[in-house]
Amino acid sequence: AVLVALGVLGAPPTAGEELSGVFQLMGKFECRFTNGTEQVTLLERHIYNREQWMHFDSDVGEYVGDTPDGEKVAKDLNSRPEFMESKRAEADTVCRRNYELFTPFSVERRGER
């Protein structure tokens, strides 16, 4: 149902291009560790058709809109105190808690460059 809605509501093509009929909505989540678990950052990115439209950085502590539509959604999400409290805690509850699972696949960083 979501894919059909995205196909119907898709952005218009740029000048001289045809609609491909393929729309991509993607979320990316990254846990960044510095000095083991001394500093943990969660980065959540929301991407639509290869354009990041909103993101959450646990160091900032709120959603940031990267496009006008993203700003609207970010404002709405940031206005929900219980949701934001849970989101801010995810650096600990998701990243730090699963550090041992992530380390074989991560690049080790030591302090600021």
Q: Does residue 113 lie within any of the structural domains?
A: no
Which residues have C-beta within 8 Å of that of residue 23, sequence separation ≥ 6? Answer: 3, 6, 7, 10, 48, 49
The band of 106, judged by pLDDT with boundaries at 50, 70 and 90, is low
- Model pLDDT, residue 36: 79
* Count of domains for the chain: 1
Q: What is the pLDDT of residues 53-84, one digit of tens each?
A: 999 999 999 999 999 999 999 999 999 999 99
What pTM value is reported for the model?
0.69
Q: Does residue 14 lie within any of the structural domains?
A: no
Q: Does residue 49 lie within any of the structural domains?
A: yes
Q: Which of 108, 109, 102 is nearest to 29 (CA)?
A: 102
Q: Which amino acid, residue 82?
A: E
Q: Which of 62, 106, 95, 100 is nearest to 80 (CA)?
A: 62
Q: What is the pLDDT of residues 1-17, one digit of tens each?
A: 333 334 444 555 556 66
Name the residue range of residue 58's domain.
25-106
Q: Does residue 55 lie within any of the structural domains?
A: yes
Note the residue count of the chain.
Answer: 113
CATH number at residue 69: 3.10.320.10
Three-state secondary-structure class, residue 93: helix
